[in-house]
Structure formats: C-alpha cells, structure tokens
Structure 1
Amino acid sequence: MKKIVLVIIIIGLLPIITQSQSFAKYENMKDVDAMVMTSKMFKMLAKVDLSEDNPEAREYLKLIENLEEIKMFTSTTASVRSEMKKDVESYLNSNSLEQLMRVNEDGKNIRFYSKGGKNDNYVSELFMFMEGEKEGELISVILSITGEIDLSQLSRLTSDLKIPGAEELKKVENKS
C-alpha cells in the first residue's frame, strides 16, 4: 500500500519536476542568454539602507523582497527558439496558469500568463513568452517571475532590469 501511495505522489510531482528542468536546461546553452536572480539576491537588495523620506524606494524594496526568482532566457538561434516554443507550450498545458493578455505589435507576439496570488492584485507567478524581432533579428524570450508579486509595481521592476516586453507589462497593470 505504501508503494502505491509513493508511486501516485511521484506521478503527481513528475510534471512539476520535468517542467522545472525543461527551463533550467537553457541556463547553460551556448546560444541562450540567461539571467536567473534568486530570493537570496532579493533579500540582500532589500537590506539596502534607504532613508525613510523616500517612500517610492521603500515600495520598490517591498516588491523585490517578496520575490522568489526571476528567470529570463533569450535566443536568436532558430533551433533553440523552436525548442523554447515547444517547452513553453508544454509548460502552459501542464500548469494552472491563466492567460492575462496577448500583444501583437511592432513585429512581436507577446503572451502573458499568471498564477493566482493572495488576492486580485497579486500573483504567485507571472510568465511571459515573446516571439518576434528585436533590432532586425528574430528572437524568443521566456520570462518567469515567482513570489508574491504586486502587479501594480511589476512593470517598474522589469523596466529597470531591461526585460523585453516591459512596456507591455504596463498594460497588464491597468487590467488588474
């Protein structure tokens, strides 16, 4: 009986483990630019001593303090872009993410998805996949931000990090 329960648990966790690994593989690929920031980095940034008279900076620190991880993978190589698209479709099919919006402009097709958070203004994951052109070159971008994410502050963070699709995130904020 214990073996049956263990097998059921493993089968239930397999999609989560597999999807996590499917994006992790991009971290060390030659033709992929990867950026991964962890909760440890956010907690370190949150300890930066700012004066009390700067509420904007305090709000910004509050946002990053509640983040768990930001992963961004970009590639201009056709075979990698194709693999990214396949992995994204698989990830979206096996996770409970809701589509927030689609944007198709300026040669870019951008889709935003989210996983619910503590209330309507927060999400526990914001996921973006972009296919298109940047500076005359075909590009694909996978972005995953996890943690307690305040949608009203998110575009500010992504703009500061120079993440493709940051401008479109302002539209997500307005829909929340």
Structure 2
Amino acid sequence: MNKLVITLLLAIAPMFSQSQNFEKYEDMKDVDAMVMTSKMFKMLAKVDLSENDPEAREYMKLIENLDRIQIYKSSNSNIMSQMATDVKSYLQKGSLEELMRVNDNGQNIKFYSLPGKNDNYVRELFMYLEGTEGDKPMSVILSITGEIDLSQLSKLTSDLKVPGAEELKKANKKS
C-alpha cells in the first residue's frame, strides 16, 4: 500500500511542480501578469444577466467551469529567455498535445491542449507566443485550466485582449 501511495505521488509531482514554474513570473518587475482563480469565475457567474441573451448565458457557462487563467507577458530579454526555457521544460514533461502553430507578421504562436471529456472540451489550453509588439520583442505565456468549451474559448481570450486570440478564433472556425 505504501509503495502504491509513493508511486502515485511521484507520478503526479511533476504536474504540481509545472504550475509553479510560471507563478514565479507574477512578482517579477518586467512582467505583466494576470491570474484569475475559480473563485473569481464563480463570482462572475453569479452576475445577473438578461435571461434573454443566449450569448451571455453561454459565456457564463464557460467561465463558471474554469479553474484558473494565467497570463504572463514580458519584453525583457532575460525574462523572455527564462520563459522559453520554462515553456520547453513544461511541454517536455507534460501530456499536452500540440493544436497548432502560427508564424505570422513576426509572431510565432503555439497552442497546446490537454484533452477533456470529449472532442469539444479540453482540461487545459496553453499558448506560448514569441514575437514583437510594435518594435519591442515580447513573449507571452497563457494557461487556461478547467472544463473548457472550445466553441466559447475564443470569445473569452478576445475579451481578455490576449495576444494570439485572433489565431485561436480562426482555428476554431476551421474545426
């Protein structure tokens, strides 16, 4: 029994350590960070909206099933290099599947997901962007976890003004 518990703990330990890799960016000086938790989503889901607006109802359904959104953005070359290393490590250790790659107008964007309950849902959507904003280099890490309805996700990323949201919207139309 003890061997089973130890084996399980060792198997899931990388999952916990991976999420920690990105949280370190929250307090760095040259990083724009936004982290929203499930408590925030539950609070937002309770906002009284018009029952006659089906789009608003779908949006609320999407956000109440989210666990966490993390967005980290930096133009500092040292931090960008660190982000690239952490993303590479995260992708090598995790079980994320590549969804798509876009190289457009100086921006290299990669999307990954962790499969969900069926083909329309994922448990994690992960995006990494390397590129420029204006004439400044930038890197962006986005991780959304929970029960994510892919048909509604592009609306959320657009509303959050996440770089790469347009590419996600285009990919969603293709599927």
TM-score (normalised: structure 1): 0.94
Shift of 1:51: 1.7
Q: Which residue of 2 aligns with 1:35?
A: 34
**1:23 aligned partner, one-letter code:** F
Identity score, percent: 65
Matches of 2:42 and 2:10, distance apart in 1:
34
Matches of 2:10 and 2:40, distance apart in 1:
33
Matches of 2:12 and 2:107, distance apart in 1:
34
Matches of 1:175 and 1:148, distance apart in 2:
21
Q: Which residue of 2 aligns with 1:48?
A: 47
* Unmatched runs of 5 consecutive residues or more in structure 2: none
Matches of 2:13 and 2:60, distance apart in 1:
35
- SS of aligned partner of 1:102: strand
Q: Which residue of 2 aligns with 1:62?
A: 61
Q: Which residue of 2 aligns with 1:123?
A: 122
- Contact map agreement 1:67 1:147 (CA 8 A) in 2: yes
* Unmatched runs of 5 consecutive residues or more in structure 1: none
Q: Which residue of 2 aligns with 1:95?
A: 94
Q: Which residue of 2 aligns with 1:155?
A: 154
Shift of 1:14: 2.7
**1:140 aligned partner, one-letter code:** S
Root-mean-square deviation (Å): 1.3
Query: How many corresponding residue pairs?
Result: 175
Matches of 2:59 and 2:8, distance apart in 1:
39
Shift of 1:15: 1.4
Shift of 1:19: 1.0
TM-score (normalised: structure 2): 0.95
Q: Which residue of 1 aligns with 2:16?
A: 17
